[in-house]
Amino acid sequence: MLPQHEIQIRVRYQETDGQTRLHHANYINYFEIGRVELLRAAGHSYRSIEESGIFLVVAEVSCRYYLPADYDDLLTLRTTTVRAKGARIEHHYELFRDHEKLAEGRTVVGCVDREGRVRRLPDWLKGEHPE
Amino acid sequence: MLPQHEIQIRVRYQETDGQTRLHHANYINYFEIGRVELLRAAGHSYRSIEESGIFLVVAEVSCRYYLPADYDDLLTLRTTTVRAKGARIEHHYELFRDHEKLAEGRTVVGCVDREGRVRRLPDWLKGEHPE
Amino acid sequence: MLPQHEIQIRVRYQETDGQTRLHHANYINYFEIGRVELLRAAGHSYRSIEESGIFLVVAEVSCRYYLPADYDDLLTLRTTTVRAKGARIEHHYELFRDHEKLAEGRTVVGCVDREGRVRRLPDWLKGEHPE
Amino acid sequence: MLPQHEIQIRVRYQETDGQTRLHHANYINYFEIGRVELLRAAGHSYRSIEESGIFLVVAEVSCRYYLPADYDDLLTLRTTTVRAKGARIEHHYELFRDHEKLAEGRTVVGCVDREGRVRRLPDWLKGEHPE
């Protein structure tokens, strides 16, 4: 399975703000898309995971912004699984425009069941990062 | 019960776009807030309605934009129940900044149950508009 | 130039709502993406258009919702330029999942300059629809 | 001036996601509203600040999520200016439902001019936190 995956995202008009730049909260949405596409590249669908009764809920998020992204920029988001252990997966994100790094971030997601109880990660989800 | 209700909404920075104006899709979100607050003013909570197994799903929406709204503008949204009959409720919306009308819109919501089957409106929901 | 263009859009988790479906306001955002990509397919970039001092502002929007779209659905949006005349362009949108039509909509955008004054459409913008 | 300010925010339907909870990226939007309202309580309008040619851009953001927020919850957001020095302001955020703390976060915003050049904070902006 893949510990790292890259996708391209084009900045939507609706995602910019009054400074004509990608609004800072939307980076967090991009990170979510990155996680989902990393899963898909590894052969999993987050939708099917939820249908099976497992939910990944965000426990921590952080982002550092280095350079602004403009409307219509075609960005590259690199998502890396840093750690997948117990009930938690830690991802790292780097957002680029060509070779410029615009931002980087980190999330920790926890695994819960339909009732919100903490669950150990299934083995096939942990497999993303060979340790 | 109230056939009409007014609320105030302040334009959020995240809701503006690269033209430094309220993005046009966010008017549709404001209309939803208007419907919910009209219901609340009539003594109902949309959240409780969903918990009771009734869902209001949007079947039609339209909006005409006359003047732009800027970041931080304090707007007045007037929501009117135009018709509530069978399984459908029609609302009309007018958005003002002071005495200027910025936009007006219309939605039709349909009443369905948890499985998505069309349901007649409960009497207390129809009651919003005395006909 | 192209009077019609199709793109694919995958429903993002953040775009769903408490009914686990694509929130109705996000269809309006999808329409905007459809307009922009139709322009791009015709050799224009909306970003460059704005940089040249021409802004397309939304004057009217409407949408009819037939069937819900779920998280992670890969949808097809067909955007058609219905009319481009004077200072206005009218587009029509159809959103599909496979062969099911989920929704259709319409927008009218108006052409203004940096000061918000109405401007006739440049010829190359009108060209999208041979009349 | 006020080093701390509390506001109430009601969770909008559009802000929830397929887990019927406030989507995690929207906390970041709430923090922005908290900063703006803290400024307003101190007698400043962020809109006027931008009109004067000073822009506050987000350099860092982080959030820890403890408990989910549901649709229609009426939340309390407490925003505290932790530090305002040089060209940067650091805020801390705590989000509550009644007496339960749902999340806490932190942002660092930097002061730039219209051309994006770093600027020292004006004295009246620094004044929020007496040191």
- Searching chain B, which residue's CA lies closest to the CA of residue C112? B19
Would you say A92 and A105 are in contact if contact means Cβ atoms under 8 Å apart?
yes
Contact A124, A84 (CB under 8 A): no
Q: Which pLDDT score, from 0 to 100, does residue A127 have? A: 59
CB contact under 8 A, C33 and A46: no
C54-70 per-position pLDDT tens digit:
999 999 999 999 999 99
Q: Which chain D residues contact residue A59 at CB under 8 A? A: 64-65
* Residue A64 backbone zone (phi > 0: left; psi -120 to 50: alpha; other: beta): beta
pLDDT at C109: 97
Q: Could you read off the pLDDT of B69-96 as tens digits, one per residue?
A: 999 999 999 999 999 999 999 999 999 9
So what's the pLDDT on residue B126? 76
The one-character DSSP state at D123 is H
- How far is D98 from D103, CA to CA, in rounded Å? 13
DSSP state, residue C67: S
Nearest residue, CB atoms, B25 vs list C19, C28, C50? C28
Distance of alpha carbon A18 from alpha carbon B19, whole angstroms = 7
Within 8 A of D28 by CB-CB distance, chain A residues are 24-25, 28, 61
* CA-wise closest residue to B28 among B89, B90, B104, B87: B104
pLDDT at B127 (0 to 100): 59
Number of A/B CB contacts below 8 angstroms equals 24
Question: Closest Cα of chain A to B84: distance in Å?
Answer: 33
For residue A130, pLDDT over 60 is answered with no
Q: How far apart, in whole angstroms, are the C-alpha atoms of residue B124 and residue A34? A: 45
Please write the tens of the pLDDT for every residue from D19-29. Answer: 889 999 999 99
Distance in angstroms (rounded) separating the CA atoms of residues A35 and D119: 36
Computed over its alpha carbons, how large is the radius of gyration of chain C? 15
For the stretch B100-117, pLDDT in tens is: 999 999 999 999 998 889
pLDDT in tens, A32-56: 999 999 999 989 999 999 999 999 9
Query: Are A14 and B13 within 8 A, CB to CB?
Result: no
State the angle between helix axes of D24-41 and A24-41 in degrees (0 to 180), rounded to the nearest 10: 170
pLDDT in tens, A61-109: 999 999 999 999 999 999 999 999 999 999 999 999 999 999 999 999 9
pLDDT of C131 over the 50 cut: no
Q: How many CB pairs below 8 A link A and C?
A: 29
pLDDT at C129 over 60: no
Dihedral sign for Cα atoms in the order D91, D1, B72, D111: negative
User: Looking at the predicted structure, is the pLDDT value of residue D14 above 90?
Assistant: yes
Q: Which range has highest mean pLDDT (B125-129, C76-80, C111-115)?
A: C76-80
Cβ distance of D65 and A50 shorter than 8 Å = no
Between these two residues, B99 and A127, which has the higher pLDDT value?
B99
CB contact under 8 A, C62 and B60: yes
Which tens digits make up the pLDDT trace of C18-43? Answer: 888 999 999 999 999 999 999 999 89
Contact between B128 and B38 under an 8 Å Cβ cutoff? The reply is: yes
Asked whether the predicted pLDDT for residue D73 surpasses 70, the reply is yes
Of B130 and D32, more confident: D32
Residue C118 is given by DSSP the state B
Predicted confidence at residue A123, as pLDDT, reads 84
Mean pLDDT of chain B: 92
C32-35 long-range contacts (CB < 8 A, ≥24 apart) are C32/A12, C32/A13, C32/A14, C32/B24, C32/B25, C33/A12, C33/C7, C33/C9, C33/C77, C34/C5, C34/C7, C34/C77, C34/C78, C34/C79, C34/C91, C34/C93, C35/C79, C35/C91, C35/C107, C35/C109
Q: What is the pLDDT of residue D129?
A: 46
Mean pLDDT along residues B20-32:
96
Are the CB atoms for D96 and D102 separated by under 8 Å? yes
- List of chain B residues whose C-beta atoms are within 8 Å of the C-beta of residue C18: 50
Set of chain C residues whose Cβ sits within 8 Å of the Cβ of A72: 36, 45-47
Instruction: State how far the alpha carbon of D9 is from the alpha carbons of B62, B115, D17, D37, D71, in Å.
Output: 27, 31, 17, 12, 11
Q: Mean pLDDT, to the nearest integer, of D94-99?
A: 97
Q: Which residues contact C125 (CB under 8 A, 6 or more apart)?
A: C44, C49, C54, C84, C89, C111
Confidence band for A58, pLDDT divided at 50, 70 and 90:
very high
Q: How far is D88 from chain C (nearest CA, A)?
A: 30
Residue of C47, C107, C109, C114 to mutate when probing chain A, most A C-beta within 10 A: C47
Distance separating the N- and C-terminal Cα atoms of chain C = 12
C1 closest CA partner among C34, C37, C43:
C43
Measured between beta carbons, the chain B residues lying within 8 angstroms of A17 are 13-14, 16-18
In chain A, residues with a C-beta closer than 8 Å to the C-beta of D118 are none
Which site among B47, B51, B55, B56 would you substitute to test the D interface, given the most D Cβ atoms closer than 10 Å to its Cβ?
B47
Largest separation between any pair of C-alpha atoms in chain C: 45
Give the DSSP H or E segment for D28: helix D24-41
**How many other CB atoms are found less than 10 A from the CB of residue B48?**
11
pLDDT at site D127: 59
Contact (CB<8Å) B71/A18: yes
Spell out which residues of chain D touch residue C16, defining contact as CB-CB under 8 Å.
17-18
Segment among A18-22, A90-94, D122-126 with least mean pLDDT = D122-126
Nearest to A62 among D29, D62, D68 (CB): D62
Residue of A13, A33, A50 lying closest to C12 (CB–CB): A33
Model confidence at C13: pLDDT above 50:
yes
* pLDDT for the residue numbered D91: 97
Confidence of residue B1 (pLDDT cuts 50, 70, 90): very low
Cβ-defined contacts of D38-44 (< 8 Å, 24+): D38/D2, D38/D4, D38/D5, D38/D79, D38/D81, D38/D91, D38/D128, D39/D128, D41/D2, D41/D5, D42/D1, D42/D2, D42/D5, D42/D127, D42/D128, D43/D1, D44/D124, D44/D125
